[in-house]
A and B are shown apart, each in its own frame.
Chain A
Amino acid sequence: MTAPTSQDHPQRDHLVSALVRDEPRVLTRITSLFGRRGYNIRSLSVGSTEHPGVSRMTFVVTGDRGVVEQAMRQLEKLHDVIKIIDHSLEKYVDRELVLVKVAITPESRVEVRQIAEDFRARIVDVGRHALTFEVTGDEGKITAFIEQMRSFGILETMRTGRIALTRGSNADIPSHVYHGGETETLRPAVEGIEPREERARGVPNLF
């Protein structure tokens, strides 16, 4: 089956975070679910959280609202998934880190450095024929930087993929205690995470 799409909703990028148990294969479980159902992940970043045993993944999926909602519901069913946050439904900050290696000549050197300064890009490596910059920012800033550098000759880039957090003092993880939805638990309760049965704030509750 191909994922349902609807004409009324445009294809666009959706920024979604998932809090997952930090267990072997959890990444495979999630990416294979996406792959099997034909949803393409455009960017993915994973790291640990302030809670031992819990990792946070942020990914960008392209599709219309319906496709992304379906993907999130499928994700929510996975036992390793504690909570899903759809950032498009709230205010958030997002960042991406990129390393860009730009070719330089004695003539272009100054100009390249000047542009980098405008973007607050840091030089992390200096070669005879290339400078490597580190830029952080939202996707737009990074794309603009790369565009600016293109005319000088980009030798290599590496982007980390986007990461995001809800704005304000609301945490994505409210201060509840996770009991796995059960009276008895297999894993020690993870301090500070609401049960998955209480659907994640941010996921539209149709029901």
Chain B
Amino acid sequence: MTQQDMTGAKALWATLVRHGISTVFGYPGGAIMPVYDALTFYPEVRHVLARHEQGAIHAAEGWAKATGEIGVCLATSGPGATNLVTGLADAMMDSVPLLAITGNVARHLMGTDAFQEADITGITLPITKHNYVVRDVEELPQVIAEAIRIARSGRPGPVLVDIPKDIQLAPYHGEITAPHARPEAPAPAPEATERARELLRGAKKPVILVGGGSLDAAAEITALARAWDIPVITTLMGLGAFPASDPLWLGMPGMHGSVAANRAISEADVLLGIGLRFDDRVTGRVSGFAPNAAIIHVELDAAEIGKIVRTHVPVRGDARVAARLLTEGAQKLDLPEWKAQIGEWKSRTRQPDHWGAAHAVQAVVGRLGPDDILSSDVGQHQMLAAQLARFERPRRWINSGGLGTMGFGFPAAIGAGMAEPGVRSVVIAGDGGFQMTAQELATLKMYDIRNVKICIINNSYLGMVRQWQEMFHERRYSEVWLGDSNPDFLKLADAYDVPGYRASSAEELPAAIDAWLADPRSSLLEVVVPHEHAVFPMVPAGAALNEMIEAEPPRAPRKEAKDA
């Protein structure tokens, strides 16, 4: 392409190509048309047309979560841009590296309430790591390069670049900016790691608590735990950072955590937290969290240290480096009593026996191999999947942890599936959440995506909300019943040419799963389960981890809403 032909829009694509971006998810519109026009000159980029900008951004997140690489999405100004808001907030909470590019009205119209103008940088200020309005075409490639660097460096996160339409059209004369080198993460201070080692050496009841910031340090953390022989707990975001098959693994902590994980944290005398931010769903009541433990906190983001829990030994730095340093000079701790106690707690894990959502989720996740990607939406099925799936390696579990975004799972599974076409990308969703982004079935059809396997756990309720109403609102079920208005999910899938399967009992389930997974195309399985089924164990909101309810309590009498 000659220099004369270069426009802002082309410079944008050229920069993305230079950065190795192969796929972008998006939706066109007036204020980004020059970019879509320029796309036709860049056949090396695959653009995936979603059916809603929220679908596009969640797909980009799924891509990023599966690969660890940056996800890219594109939207027009105004409503297109505002439809990205939920995904940006989601990516911010879960530290997902993401680049969102939005068109905007021409510069001379900005601030005039022009057609489809929205102050998207103002709107997204608190939910992006950084954002830009490009005000000079000569800056565009540099801004994109810097946005990508910011999104990926330190604690990753979403960056939005808003490009006025006239800048997309303006001639561009400069160079195309090369990628920035990924900055080295800071190495922890030697005094800090030495103090941490000292604490570990003296520990009688140690545990390691691993969060989503540890996913790329799984090997080092596994070596660390085995060298010291310390049990490991992985948060919802950290699932897969330690192999579930290892006897040292205690499961997930927190609101729907395992008995062993929550009891071990409550009893621990030394807690080594790595790459986590002590979310309230993890800690329960903070004053009751690890009340007896000296806390070592390994974390890249200085602002997370001491934010929620008091830290005795702050270790600021990269999780991989820190884990390696803490493995040096490790000596196996000989703690038979602690091990025996943990063994007893672990034995309290119940396998789902009677027919219900837990049984169904168990049957599905039991069929996954170590390379399969499992995404989930948000609700009971998500917590069940997190409790029951066994992840052997990181980046195989994709869910919306921090924001808890319904509608996330299915498009994220599409993104993950497109990132790794050779791998099965399974999504478990509820009947409620699936309908928030069900239109993305069209995306499967349009690109003939063959590896996405959708499982809908249909309990005819907004199950998780119903569970809270059951437990905390005397079973006054207010606005959570979907049963009368749910679509026939198989017909819905069929309308998009996606094959569907259904099971309504424990007996039907295995064959249905077989058929669903054996189908060479992307396919949908609906599992119809009993309406009222709750997820346990559960730590009620505001309670401490050791105030966990381990099993389903007897039912409170059902009260009609009008009694209230």
**Which A32-76 residues have a C-beta within 8 angstroms of B?**
32-33, 36, 66, 69-70, 73-74, 76
User: Judging by beta carbons under 8 Å apart, are B306 and A70 in contact?
Assistant: yes
Query: Which of B178, B307, B316 is within 8 Å of A184, CB to CB?
Result: B178
User: Judging by beta carbons under 8 Å apart, are B280 and A1 in contact?
Assistant: yes
User: Judging by beta carbons under 8 Å apart, are A207 and B314 in contact?
Assistant: yes
In the complex, B188 has a CB within 8 A of chain A = yes
User: Judging by beta carbons under 8 Å apart, are A25 and B122 in contact?
Assistant: yes
* Known contacts A182-B149, A186-B146, A207-B188, A25 near B302 by CB under 8 Å: no
In the complex, A168 has a CB within 8 A of chain B = no
**Which A1-17 residues have a C-beta within 8 angstroms of B?**
1, 4
Interface residue SS majority, chain A? loop
Report Cα–Cα, A186/B306, bound state, in Å. 33
User: Judging by beta carbons under 8 Å apart, are B306 and A207 in contact?
Assistant: no
Q: For A66, list chain B residues within 8 Å (CB).
A: 306
User: Judging by beta carbons under 8 Å apart, are A184 and B303 in contact?
Assistant: no
User: Judging by beta carbons under 8 Å apart, are A207 and B181 in contact?
Assistant: no
How far is the CB of A16 from the nearest CB of chain B, in Å? 15
Q: Which of B126-134, B228-236, B471-479, B554-562 participates in binding chain A?
A: B126-134
Range, interface on chain A: 20 to 34
In the complex, A28 has a CB within 8 A of chain B = yes
Q: Which residue of A lies closest to B130 (CB)?
A: A79
* Known contacts A4-B308, A25-B125, A182-B149, A206 near B303 by CB under 8 Å: no
User: Judging by beta carbons under 8 Å apart, are A207 and B308 in contact?
Assistant: no
Q: For A73, list chain B residues within 8 Å (CB).
A: 302-303, 305
In the complex, B317 has a CB within 8 A of chain A = yes
Q: For A70, list chain B residues within 8 Å (CB).
A: 303, 306-307
Q: Mark A178-192, 1 if CB is under 8 A from B, else 0.
A: 000111101000000
In the complex, B315 has a CB within 8 A of chain A = yes
Q: Which residue of B lies closest to A180 (CB)?
A: B146
Q: For B308, list chain A residues within 8 Å (CB).
A: 1, 4
Range, interface on chain B: 35 or more
In the complex, B183 has a CB within 8 A of chain A = yes
**Which B286-306 residues have a C-beta within 8 angstroms of A?**
301-303, 305-306
Q: For A140, list chain B residues within 8 Å (CB).
A: none
Q: For B120, list chain A residues within 8 Å (CB).
A: none
User: Judging by beta carbons under 8 Å apart, are B183 and A181 in contact?
Assistant: yes
* Known contacts A4-B307, A184-B180, A29 near B125 by CB under 8 Å: yes
Q: Which residue of B lies closest to A74 (CB)?
A: B303
How far is the CB of A190 from the nearest CB of chain B, in Å? 15
* Known contacts A74-B303, A76-B303, A32 near B133 by CB under 8 Å: no
In the complex, A77 has a CB within 8 A of chain B = yes
Q: For B306, list chain A residues within 8 Å (CB).
A: 4, 66, 69-70
How far is the CB of A140 from the nearest CB of chain B, in Å? 32
Query: Which of A80, A184, A207 is within 8 Å of B317, CB to CB?
Result: A207
How far is the CB of B181 from the nearest CB of chain A, in Å? 6
How far is the CB of A104 from the nearest CB of chain B, in Å? 46
In the complex, B142 has a CB within 8 A of chain A = yes
User: Judging by beta carbons under 8 Å apart, are A207 and B149 in contact?
Assistant: no
Report Cα–Cα, A80/B133, bound state, in Å. 14
In the complex, B105 has a CB within 8 A of chain A = no
In the complex, A127 has a CB within 8 A of chain B = no
User: Judging by beta carbons under 8 Å apart, are A207 and B301 in contact?
Assistant: no
Report Cα–Cα, A77/B308, bound state, in Å. 17
In the complex, A106 has a CB within 8 A of chain B = no
User: Judging by beta carbons under 8 Å apart, are A183 and B130 in contact?
Assistant: no
Q: For A182, list chain B residues within 8 Å (CB).
A: 149, 180-181, 183
* Known contacts A1-B280, A29-B125, A206-B316, A76 near B181 by CB under 8 Å: no
Q: Which residue of A lies closest to B142 (CB)?
A: A186
Query: Which of A29, A32, A78, A207 is within 8 Å of B315, CB to CB?
Result: A207
* Known contacts A182-B149, A184-B178, A207-B188, A28 near B303 by CB under 8 Å: no
18 A-B pairs (CB sep. < 8 Å): A4-B308, A25-B121, A28-B122, A33-B126, A66-B306, A77-B301, A77-B303, A79-B130, A79-B150, A183-B181, A186-B142, A186-B143, A186-B145, A197-B183, A206-B314, A207-B186, A207-B188, A207-B314
Please give me the 7 A-B residue pairs with the lowest Cβ-Cβ distance, nearest first.
Answer: A207-B316, A73-B303, A79-B130, A186-B146, A186-B142, A74-B303, A73-B302
Contacts beyond the supplied A28-B122, A79-B129: 17 A-B pairs with Cβ under 8 Å:
A4-B307, A4-B308, A28-B125, A29-B125, A66-B306, A73-B305, A77-B303, A79-B130, A181-B183, A182-B183, A184-B181, A186-B142, A186-B146, A207-B186, A207-B305, A207-B316, A207-B317
Residues of chain B touching chain A, judged by Cβ–Cβ distance below 8 Å, are 121-122, 125-126, 129-130, 133, 139, 142-143, 145-146, 149-150, 154, 177-178, 180-181, 183, 186, 188-189, 192, 280, 301-303, 305-308, 314-317
